[in-house]
Structure 1
Amino acid sequence: MKNTALYRSLENKINTYNSQNNNILSGILDPIKKDVFIRQLIDSIRRVKYVETVSSRTISPERANPHSDLFDPIKGACYLFQQGNFDEANWLIFLSSHFGIDPINGWKITKNLYGKLGEDGNNRWSWREVTSNPSTFFNWLDINSLQVKGDAKFGNHRRYQSISATSNAGTGATISSYINLVGNSHSSFFSNIIQDSPSPKVLFNRLYRIYKENIKGFSRLGTFDFLCMLGKSGILNIEPDIPYLKGSSGPLTGTQMLYDLNRQQADASTLESYLVNLGEHLQLSFGMQVLEDALCNWQKKPSQYIYFNG
């Protein structure tokens, strides 16, 4: 690991940054902690690069087919976007962001819901189908919610979500709030937001505030992950402007540890400004998500490298 070009590049940039800024990254002056932090950065960079690479390749249509063993909602969304199906690409990213990926069962919940549990031939709960017949969809979900979830779990970052069609904190409420916000057409929805041609970072911030306020159950993390995936996949030309630490737990703790500061010494806004400055120095694609993800993982075991999937 230490002999890779990426590791050496990050190490040199961090050393230079600390040297120029009076060892501001005092939480990684310990060589072991710095080593673990750099390795977590590399893992986060690779996760971003994976999606960016997938979106640029030719993708099998089976990736978007919930009745196929090859189904993958991220790759499927990229395929649909390549085919010009903007609504369905957004819808698949939304569903996969809501359910997350189960470390054991993968995308099973997304597959079950999107594919109608395989009960209706090759049909699926497409964006058009759901928005055209919302009452039919929600009735179906109410009847089949336990089967949709089965023995699978929501992803690690979604473990407190409910599959319920009727609970105010369940899947039904989340999907209903998303439909109410977007309407029938994602293109029309976005056109009202980007009339002034904002930069990718300004647009991310604008959408973050709108989605976080209006989509039930997404809060900070769900909104951040959802928008980052839309940006990495190329479906929207957006990139996070800040790491959105307010309301977070792991990323905020990790940032405090990186700068060796407590809540009284620096609030979330101050720490965000520090990470923006560090990100500009590191010059990473989707630098704010890379740092947010790496810091969240690093703070769990700052002196021991562990690979975290997701």
Structure 2
Amino acid sequence: MDRFRAMQTFVKVAESGSFVRAAEALGLSKASVSLIVSELEAGLGVRLMQRTTRKLSLTDMGRAYLARCHDILEAVAEAEGMLSARQGEARGVLRAYAPLAFAQHHVVPVLPAYRAAFPEVTVDLVLGTRAVDLVEEGFDLALLFEQQGLASSLVSRRLAHSDLIFCAAPGYLAARGRPDDPTALAGHDLLISDPQYLSGKLTRDDGETLTLAWPAPALLCNASEVLRESCVAGMGVAVLPSFVVSESLRLGELVEVLPGWRAGRLDLCLAFPSRRFLSAKVRGAADYIVERFRAFATDPHCDPWLASARAAATMS
């Protein structure tokens, strides 16, 4: 027997003074309500109600039990109300994961504004370059690149994409010459973060693809920021995500090489372990992130970081 449900049923019968009216209020049959009260009495070993064909009244034990049931049901309602109220407040620890290079350029700068908006939330931000298991590792949400592999059990929303582009320092290009087509890359020092780029598969904006046999890179490093700094220092032509080099392109530290060609594309997604029962802290962070990328999502074919960098270069 569900004792809590039995208490609720008993209280409804006592307050309405009728099995019929109680049944209507609870959405049950009169027989079901009568059975529940009878089972409650049997379980307690006392009679709670005197029943006749014309009248229903509480026994002394029934009145005493009704008072205690009121206390218990009110306490439960108060506890549920407290949880609902706290659920509506963004507070607690938000455990989040983001790719290291992306976070350095585009998450860290907005953390102060996020904290100002949600002062009761402590951010536990884990950065890395690996695939993560959000459920097993206890993450509330994550910014992930789809190419890292998203588990089918995750709920995800695509926010933007970033092209893998070629860039170099102006000084390097002045000394070594600027490649005017992809085949000319063979005569340059390449800076690459992932060995898979050595396949040399390139895609142009119009959809044309080209596969090149590239020479061994001058630098192979999995840290995008190291590659960017090496590129700025004039070490060679780097293959990097636009979100890493956009600021350097705007400042003129780097120049885009082979505009219109890319070595790949990274799709940025916001991922959750589940859509159900999201706390206020998670909903608040998710809404904040989605709003941050709202303008980026207006054109799914446009790389927002590259577009802004090209616009700045045109104006300068």
> Which TM-score band (shorter chain)?
under 0.3
TM-score, scaled relative to structure 2: 0.22
Structure with bigger gyration radius: 2
TM-score, scaled relative to structure 1: 0.22
Structure with more of its chain in helix, by fraction: 1
